Structure 1
C-alpha cells in the first residue's frame, strides 16, 4: 500500500511538470503572458538570462572590438598616417563614438562634439590644435576657441586668444602635494581678475561663454560689470554666463576660496576643441587628478574624443633607452581615464622625432624607437587608438631635415616643430581622422 501511494505522488508530480512545461513553451512561442504564471514559468528565466548575457556581450563587443575576435597586428603601430587599434582589417572604424557624433552633426547640423587635446610644449600657444580645430570646424561646423585658462605665462605668442590675468593664486601639476587641479593642469583661487579674448571668431558670431569652476559654496563673480551668483557644489561646474557677439570678457572673483579653472568660448553647435598644453610633462602627471574629479569633468563638459600627445620629454638624456618606469606610472593613469570616460574615444599620439648630437652630428635619439613601442603597447593593452607621429613626420632624422630645410618646419633645438611644421602635423592628423570617419557605418536609428 505504501509503495502504491508513492507511485501516485510521482505520477502527479510528473503530470504537473509536463503541463507546466507545455504551457511554458506555448507561452514563449505564441507570446502569451500572464504575470502570476510568469513567476512559475519554467523557461522564461533561461531565455531572459540568455538575452541578458547576449546584451552584455553586445555591449562589450561594441566598447571593445577585441571581443569581436578581430585579428590584431601590433606591428601596425609603425605605419605613418594611420589611426589604428591594431586590427588587421583596415576597414574597421576605430573611433566609433567620435565618428558617430561627427555623423550626427554632419547630418543634422545640431549638437556639440567636444575634443580635449592634451600635450606638452609642442602644442603650446595653440600650435597644431588651432589648425586642427579650424579644419574640423570648416568641415563639420562650429566656431570658438574653446577652453582658456584665467591666467597663463605662455600665451604671448598665441594667435587665437588673448589671456590677461592677475591676482590669482595658482596651483599646478608641478607643485608638491598638489591634487585635483583642472585637466589643464592648473587651478586658480583668490580675488583675481581676468580679461579673455577669443581672436578666432568674427564680430558677427554669437559666442556662448561658460565659466568652469569648483564648489561654488554660494560664491559669485563680477562678469562684465555685473555680479553673477554661481550655482553648483560639484568638484567641477559649468555655468553659462552670456550668449552674445562679445568676444572679450572681463571678470573678477568675489570668493577667495572658490576654485576657478577657466572659461570656454564656443558656438551653440559644432566642433569644440580645447587645447590643454603643459610644458615639460609626459602624461604621468595626471596621477594627481583622481577618478571622481575626472568624472566631474566629464559630467560638466562631455568630451567625445580625448587626444594625448606626449613623449619627447621622456627623452631628456641622449642615451636613455629603458622606459619601464613610464609604463609603470602611465598604466594607472590610462586605467583611470578609461573608467572616468567610458563612452569617450581616447587616442594616444606618439612622440614626434627628437635629435641629440652623436659624434658631432644631430641624429634621432637612440631611445626613441623604444618610446614608440612603449606607447603603442600601452594603447594596445588599454584598447586605445594610436597614431605614430614620428613616422608620420618622416621617421628617423626627420626633425633634423625639418629644421634645415628652407623654409624650416622645425626649430634648431631639434625638438619643436615651428608654426609651419605644426600646421603640417595638424593636417596629417585631420586627414587620418577623416579617413577613419569614412569607415564608419551608421547603425543607430538616429544615424540612419
Structure 2
C-alpha cells in the first residue's frame, strides 16, 4: 500500500527548513576552513565487520544492516545452520569517525603527516523513533590526525567555539575531562580494569539518575558494595576539590587538562570551560581527553568529542594519534527554527507580471534586478493579489515588484513585518 509519509524516523524538509539547514551547514563549513581544516567525503556504506568490530558502544546495536544479495544470499539460506548476522555484508555508517579512520588508513601515504579533516553528512542509527530522535541525521565533524600533543585539542575546541559563536550561541559551557582520570578513580576504588568500561557507562548516567540511581544500578550488577561506596565518596570529593583533586592520583591527566583549561580559559569571553570528572562520553574508543558543550538549560549537549589514539591502529596495525569534535547539527537547527532567529540578510524578491506582458521583456527585467538583489523569482500575477502576496511572505520573500512595461522602473516594496 502506498503512503505519503516518509519511513518511521526519517524526515522530509520544507523549503524554509531546508534553507535553515543549508545556511547552518555553510556557516559551519566556512568557519572550519578558516582554521585550516580540509573537507573529505566518505562512503555511506561500510563493511559490516568494520562497523561491528570497533568500540562504537551502544551504536553497534543500532546498525542498519544490508542483506547480502544474489547467489551469496541463496547459498546462505540453503545452509543448515544460519545466523542472522551472517546475512549482512554491509551496513550504513552510524557516525563519521569510523569511516574517517578507514579512509585515513587507506590513504595515509597521500595525506600530510598532520591531517586536519572536515566531514559533513548524514549518519544512520536504528533508534526507537520519537520526538527529537531520528534514524537519519547530519553530523559536522572536525578531526586532527597525527598530532599527539594537546595543541590538537586546543585548536579543535577553539574552532568549535568560534563556530558556535558565529551561529549565535555565545553563552555555552565546555565540559572537559580525561578518561585516564575516571579510570584512576574507578580502579583506586577497588574495581578491576576489566570492568572499567561497564562502570563508566553507568557513571555516564549521573546527570539523569543521580547518585542513588548510580548506587542502585551498580549494586544490581553485583559489584562489591565497599567499592561502590568508595567510588561515590571519591566522586563527591572531586566535586568539591576540582582539578587539583586529581593531581596526585592521575598526574598525566592533570597536566593535560591544566594546559587546555589555561589556554581556552584565557580565550573565553561569552562562554566558559570547566573540568567535570563525571564526563564519560559513550564511545569506547576514547583514550584520554573528552569534552562536550552544553547550552542554556537544555537537557542535552550540542557538541562533543575526544581523543582516540588507538582506533586507527586497529585497522592499519599502526597506532596514530587522533582527536575529533562534532557539532550537534540537528539540535542547532532545531533551536534556530524554534527561536525563529534571523539567519541572514539576503534580499529575496518576487517579480510579478501578467500574461499580457512579453516574457522576453519580463526575463530581461528580472536579469537586471538580480544585479541588485540576491534572489529574484518570477511569478504570474494572480487575480487575488493579496492572497498571493501572503503566500510569498510566508515563503520568506523580503519584497516584491510588479512588472508593468519595459520602459517603467520596477518599484520593489518590502513585506511589512509584524513586530
TM-score (norm 2): 0.25
Higher RCO structure, 1 or 2 (CA under 8 Å, sep 6+): 1
